[in-house]
Amino acid sequence: MSNKKLIDLFKSKGLLFPSNDEEIEEFENSENILNETPLDWDNPSDILKRGYLKLTNFNLENDAVSSDEIQNLSRAAREGKEISEKVSKKMLEDKNASKKK
Show the CA angle centred on residue 70, arms to residues 77 and 83, nearest 5°: 45
Mean pLDDT of 36-41: 72
Residue 53's pLDDT is 78
Look at residues 51, 14, 5 and name the one whose alpha carbon lies nearest to residue 33. Answer: 14
Is residue 57 classed as helix, strand or coil in its secondary structure?
coil
Average pLDDT over residues 11-32: 76
pLDDT at 1 over 70: no
Distance from C-alpha of 94 to C-alpha of 101, rounded to nearest angstrom: 11
Q: How far apart are CA 92 and CA 27, in angstroms?
A: 38
pTM of the predicted model over 0.75: no
For the stretch 40-82, pLDDT in tens is 778 888 888 888 877 776 655 555 556 676 677 777 777 777 7
